[in-house]
Amino acid sequence: GEDVEQSLFLSVREGDSSVINCTYTDSSSTYLYWYKQEPGAGLQLLTYIFSNMDMKQDQRLTVLLNKKDKHLSLRIADTQTGDSAIYFCAESRDDYTLSFGAGTTVTVRA
């Protein structure tokens, strides 16, 4: 938690874009990740970005990394009801051990 911070809740209308933000403190972070957790389920790796990249796109997902500000965001285009879940930001250093944020609960409303 305290090394990675996220806002706790996000409500978005179906069809709109969602943007989930995350800040981290460790400038030696090597990789930054986004995981999705649906109720009662495990964590699903959505995407990750190497710290020397500033953007990565994968279908509806766009990750932006501002290394100077230590800010990571995940944009979900055309948000669907199936996107309702908790989204965790995480960072790792060379040992690949993950440090997670507290998670952002995304609620998609019709």
Q: Which parts of this chain interact with other proteins (CB under 8 A)?
A: 1, 30-31, 33, 35, 37, 41-45, 48, 50, 86, 88, 92, 95-100, 102-103
Instruction: Pick between residue 25 and residue 78 the one whose CB is nearest to other proteins.
Output: 25
Instruction: Pick between residue 17 and residue 44 the one whose CB is nearest to other proteins.
Output: 44
Instruction: Pick between residue 16 and residue 54 the one whose CB is nearest to other proteins.
Output: 54
Write the DSSP string, 43-68: EEEEEEEETT-SEEEETTEEEEEETT
- Closest approach of Cβ 6 to other proteins, in Å? 11
- Closest approach of Cβ 25 to other proteins, in Å? 16
Distance between CA atoms of residues 5 and 101, nearest Å = 5
Give the pair of three-digit tokens for residue 58: 């994968």
Sequence-ordered list of residues with C-beta below 8 angstroms from that of 40, at least 6 positions apart, any chain: none
